[in-house]
Amino acid sequence: MSKTEAAKKLYEECKDMDIDETMDLVLNAETEEEQDFFSMLSDFILQRKQKQVIAQKRF
């Protein structure tokens, strides 16, 4: 599997994660770099949720 394919698969696996799951990953990261990565993932999940709420005018 190429890195591009792996990245796309990672996206598909992560895009619908629950925010609590991502926060658990951040809190239990083994390294600072891993924590940074999971924080970015958490931010991405929150941004997607915000877009959905705004699109549905539920704010």
Find where tokens 């770099």 sit: 33
Indicate the pTM of the whole model.
0.83
- pLDDT tops 80 at residue 59: no
Query: In this predicted structure, what is the pLDDT of residue 51?
Result: 93
Q: Are 19 and 43 in contact (CB under 8 A)?
A: no
Please state the domain extents for the chain.
3-55
3-state secondary structure 11-22: HHHHCCCCHHHH
| pLDDT band at residue 58 using 50, 70 and 90 as cut-offs | confident
Question: What tokens appear for 1 in the block?
Answer: 């599997």
pLDDT digits (tens, 9 = 90+) for 33-42: 999 999 999 9
| pLDDT band at residue 57 using 50, 70 and 90 as cut-offs | confident
What is the rounded CA–CA span in Å between residue 32 and residue 29?
Answer: 7
